[in-house]
Structure formats: structure tokens, C-alpha cells
């Protein structure tokens, strides 16, 4: 089932870099170091590199699948399972993206509650955020990509601020290296799932890329950049905290900003949190677009109708999560589901696509 998209609705190949990186960078990076260090200590920097290599392979699989099926995730499933079964399977992804939206936005609100405004209304903040997200999503994938571009470029100065913590860093914390088993490193790799999920959206907006083959290198560059960024953040945090200290902080990245003092701002973490609002915006918008796009393809409901409906469902769900403990459980659940979808289901789908192509070639009369 080939999806034909007008050229004026497609994005340039190089913009895939910003779209994928923006989707992978959300609330996970704020606290992933504490989680991965539970299993492999400060050897968990190896898990960051390992997960980057695995995602590189998975993205190659995605490009291979979409090229064979000549379309998006619906086309891939139709190529393997047929039209009816493919729609049933793909409908599960609607729930997945709704869960991702709820996790990201509610997680950000929890950070605002703890660090800035304890009495901030969950409902009203979420409503305001969703109104903005609906406006952006209704502009189409090109508008969302534009927001992703700005979410990568504008807050880039945050990366440089880590250098201001160098006087307090002790890189000997990373020693001794290679002190943990491969099993512990693999456990650490699994714990990074919430931090790195999002690249799978490529399966959904693939038909909206001009000359998709030319975008392949940009997708790979995006994954390399995300991996290096995670590694950069992890090394600075490991150098700042001892292993025991690190486990006491839910969001180590925010804590490390507390040592940064500037003449014009005393609490730099407030600026960081405010900027993170822009960073998570494309997370919400692209997930909302993917879910509404699936609804359009499966149930023939216009996106301008499904986008507000999905936003309302997510808004109600977020409003029902009133405690930090529930939010932590939700984050763990989303991480686990994302792990199985990306690291197990995608490879299965890839090999099933190759098998289906082989069967179709045999059935084609010579």
C-alpha cells in the first residue's frame, strides 16, 4: 500500500537529523545517569556506546524495510501480514504514542513541581501545552520539523555550560575502568530505553521525506550526535558525583547546574528547566502527529479531528496522575514497552519483511 505525498508537504533530507535527535532528547537525559549507574557503576559509559551501535543497526533495518515496502509502517505491515491484520497491529502504536506523550509531559511537570512551582496546576499547564501542540501539529510535518530544528539549535548553549563545572570535577571517579561484567553492562543498556526511544518515528514520517535514501546519512549522523551527547553528559555527571552520591538525586543533570553561578543569574537550573519546555515540545508534537496519522490511515478519520481528541485523552490521563510515585511507575512502564518494541519487535519486523520478499519473489511467475 503505497502512500503518495505531495512534494510541498515533504521535508528536506538533512532535516531528518533534527527530527530524530529532537525526538530522542527529552526528559530521559535529565536522570538516565543515575539509572544506568545502578547496574554497571561508572562503567555504564560503555552501555551508552553499545546502545548507540544497536540503534544504528535498527535504523538501517528501518530504512531497509521502508524501501522494500515502499512506504511507512502501515505499508510494511501490509507487505507482511495483509491489509486487515496490519491495521489491527498498527493500532497498538496509537496507544504507545499516547503513553509516550503522557510520560514526557507529566514527567516535565513533576520536575517543575519539585524544582520551581510546587503548586503548579497539572491540568491548566497541560491544557496550555496541548493547545500549542495542536496548533503546531495542524501545521503538518513541516511545521513540526521546524520546531524540532529550533529545539536542537536554540538550547545548544546548555551543552557548553557543563564546562563551567570542570573545577569541581574529578575524572578519577571513572576509575577503575572495565570493572563490571558484560551482563551488568547489558542491564545498564536496557535501562537506557526511555532515554533513546523516539527514532522509531522514522517508520511513520518516512514517506514525507524528499529522496529518502539521501536522508539515511543524516539519520545516522543524528544517532551519532545523540550518543555523543549522552556520553558527554554522563562523563561530566560521573566526574561530579561519587556513585553513592549519584543515587541520591533523581535528576543529576539539574543538580549539577546548581554550582553554575553567573553575574546575571544565580539559579541557572531555572533557565535550564525553562529551556526544557522547548526541548520536549517536538516530543509531544511528533508523537501526537504519528498517533493521529495512524488513526487517519486505519479508521479514515481526519487528523484535524483526531488530534484534539487524542490531546483530550492525554490531558485527562495526565490530570489523574497526581503523585511522583505514579509518575515513576509510568516512566518505567513506558521504558519497558519502548524497549520491547524497538529492540525486539523491530528486528522481528525486519526479518519478516525479508522473508515476505523472498516468498513473493517465488510466487511471481517468471
In a domain, 363, yes or no: no
Is residue 339 scored above 90 in pLDDT?
yes
pLDDT, tens only, 268-291: 888 899 999 999 999 999 999 999
The reply to whether 358 falls in a domain is: no
pLDDT, average across residues 283-311? 96
Can you tell me the distance from the alpha carbon of 77 to that of 75, in angstroms, rounded to the nearest whole number? 6
Q: What does the pLDDT average to over 39-46?
A: 93
Residues of the chain with pLDDT > 70, as a percent, come to: 98
Local structure of residue 3 (DSSP, 8 states): P
- Residue 198 pairs in a beta bridge with none
In a domain, 44, yes or no: yes
- Tens digits of per-residue pLDDT, 186-206? 999 999 988 999 999 999 999
Task: Note whether residue 213 is domain-resident.
Answer: yes
Give the chain's domain count.
Answer: 1
**Least confident piece of the model among 58-67, 261-270, 287-296:** 261-270
362: confidence class by pLDDT, cuts 50, 70, 90: confident
In the chain, % of residues over pLDDT 90: 80
**Alpha-carbon distances of 262 from 166, 194, 271, 275, rounded to whole Å:** 15, 32, 12, 17
265 or 93, which is more confident = 93
Q: Which domain holds residue 288?
A: 7-344
Q: Within 10 Å of residue 73's Cβ, how many Cβ atoms?
A: 26
**361 lies in some domain:** no
Q: Which of 35-39, 261-265, 290-294 has maximum average pLDDT? A: 290-294
At residue 1 the predicted structure's pLDDT band, cuts being 50, 70 and 90, is very low
Ramachandran bin of 291, using left for φ above 0, alpha for ψ from -120 to 50, beta for the remaining angles: alpha
Q: What is the pTM of this model?
A: 0.94
Average pLDDT of every residue of the chain: 93
Give 250-273 pLDDT, tens digit per residue.
999 999 988 887 777 778 888 899
Residue 366's pLDDT is what?
53
Q: Reduce the DSSP state of residue 11 to 3 states and report it.
A: strand
What's the average model confidence in pLDDT over 135-158?
95
Residue 152 domain-assigned? Answer: yes
Residue 356 maps to a domain: no
Could you tell me if residue 349 is inside a domain? no
* Cβ neighbours of residue 172 closer than 8 Å, sequence gap 6 or more: none
The domain that contains 214 carries what CATH number? 1.20.1740.10
Give the up-direction half-sphere exposure of residue 188: CA atoms within 13 A in the CB hemisphere: 25
Task: Tell me: pLDDT of 365 over 80.
Answer: no
pLDDT value for 258: 86
Binned at pLDDT 50, 70 and 90, residue 326 comes out as: very high
Residue-level pLDDT at 306: 97
What is the pLDDT, as a whole number, of residue 265? Answer: 76
Q: Tell me, what's the pLDDT at 267?
A: 82
Q: Is the pLDDT of residue 140 over 60?
A: yes
Q: Which cell goes with 362?
A: 517465488
Question: Which tops the pLDDT comparison, 178 or 262?
Answer: 178
Amino acid at each position: 500500500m503505497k502512500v503518495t505525498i505531495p512534494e510541498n508537504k515533504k521535508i528536506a533530507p538533512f532535516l531528518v537529523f533534527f527530527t530524530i535527535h529532537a525526538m530522542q532528547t527529552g526528559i530521559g537525559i535529565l536522570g538516565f545517569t543515575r539509572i544506568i549507574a545502578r547496574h554497571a557503576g561508572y562503567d555504564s559509559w560503555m552501555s551508552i556506546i553499545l546502545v548507540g551501535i544497536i540503534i544504528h543497526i535498527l535504523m538501517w533495518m528501518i530504512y531497509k524495510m521502508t524501501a522494500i515496502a515502499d512506504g511507512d509502517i502501515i505499508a510494511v505491515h501490509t507487505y507482511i501480514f495483509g491489509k486487515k491484520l496490519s491495521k489491527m497491529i498498527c493500532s497498538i502504536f496509537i496507544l504507545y504514542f499516547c503513553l509516550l506523550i503522557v510520560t514526557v509531559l507529566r514527567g516535565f511537570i513533576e520536575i517543575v513541581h519539585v524544582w520551581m512551582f510546587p503548586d503548579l496546576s497539572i491540568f491548566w499547564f497541560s491544557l496550555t501545552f496541548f493547545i500549542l501542540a495542536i496548533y503546531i501539529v495542524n501545521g503538518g510535518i513541516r511545521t513540526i520539523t521546524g520546531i524540532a530544528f529550533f529545539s536542537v539549535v536554540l538550547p545548544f548553549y546548555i551543552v557548553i555550560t557543563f564546562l563551567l563545572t570542570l573545577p569541581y570535577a574529578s575524572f578519577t571517579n571513572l576509575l577503575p575502568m572495565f570493572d563490571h561484567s558484560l551482563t551488568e553492562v547489558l542491564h545498564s543498556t536496557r535501562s537506557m530505553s526511555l532515554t533513546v526511544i523516539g527514532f522509531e518515528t522514522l517508520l511513520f514520517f518516512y514517506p514525507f521525506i524528499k529522496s529518502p535514501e539521501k536522508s539515511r546519512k543524516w539519520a545516522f549522523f543524528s544517532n551519532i550526535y545523540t550518543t555523543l551527547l549522552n556520553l558527554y553528559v554522563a562523563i561530566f555527571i560521573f566526574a561530579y558525583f561519587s556513585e553513592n552520591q549519584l543515587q541520591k538525586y533523581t535528576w543529576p543533570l539539574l543538580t549539577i547546574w546548581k554550582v553554575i553561578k553567573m553575574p546575571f543569574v544565580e539559579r541557572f537550573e531555572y533557565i535550564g528547566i525553562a529551556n526544557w519546555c522547548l526541548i520536549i515540545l517536538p516530543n509531544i508534537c511528533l508523537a501526537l502527529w504519528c498517533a493521529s496519522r495512524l488513526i487517519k490511515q486505519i479508521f479514515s478519520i481526519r487528523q484535524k479531528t483526531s488530534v484534539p481528541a487524542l490531546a483530550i485523552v492525554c490531558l485527562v490521563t495526565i490530570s489523574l496522575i497526581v503523585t511522583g510515585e505514579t509518575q515513576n511507575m509510568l516512566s518505567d512502564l513506558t521504558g519497558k514497552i519502548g524497549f520491547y518494541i524497538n529492540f525486539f519487535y523491530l528486528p522481528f519486523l525486519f526479518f519478516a519483511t525479508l522473508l515476505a520478499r523472498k516468498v513473493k519473489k517465488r510466487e511471481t511467475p517468471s
